Amino acid sequence: MPATTIGGREVHVDDEGFLTEYDEWDEDLAKELAANIGIPELTEDHWKVITFLRADYKEQGETATLRRVSAVGGIPTKSLFQLFPKKPARKMSYVAGLPKPAGCI
């Protein structure tokens, strides 16, 4: 696994750049990750998504899909597209320090 430096600290990532170690992530790092992909500021709504994803991953062992974030997390799909433009499933996972969702829907 490659390591890379984000926000002045070394973290482990996969070949694409997604974090591979759940515990290397914290809120400060999330801000850096978001800035890396063109999200300049994390709003309260962003944090709602991130917090749900982190907790759900811990329970389920896999990253929630958009459908799950809306059906279980109660965050409307439409707003996910506003918060993480164009490719919400991948972008939200990246900022939350999780792998891409494996499920199809």
Partner 1 sequence: MTDAPIVPDFGDDEEDRKISFVCSKGSLDMAYPGLIMASGALELGIETHIFFTFWGMDMINKKTMGKLKFSPVGNPATHMPAALAPFPGMTTMATKQMNKQLEDLDIPDIPTFLEHLQDMGCHLWACKMSVDMFKLTEDDMIDGLDGVLNVGEFMEIIEGAQTMFI
| Known catalytic residue at 19 | no
Residues 6+ apart with CB under 8 A from 84: 39, 46, 49, 91, 92, 95
**CA-to-CA separations, 31 to 61, 83, 96, 103, in angstroms, rounded:** 23, 14, 10, 26
- How many residues line the site for partner 1 (CB under 8 A)? 33
Binding mask 33-72 vs partner 1 (x if CB under 8 A, - otherwise)? Answer: ---xxx---------------------------xxx-xx-
Residues that bind partner 1 (CB under 8 A): 2-6, 10, 13, 16-18, 36-38, 66-68, 70-71, 76-78, 81, 85-91, 94, 103-105
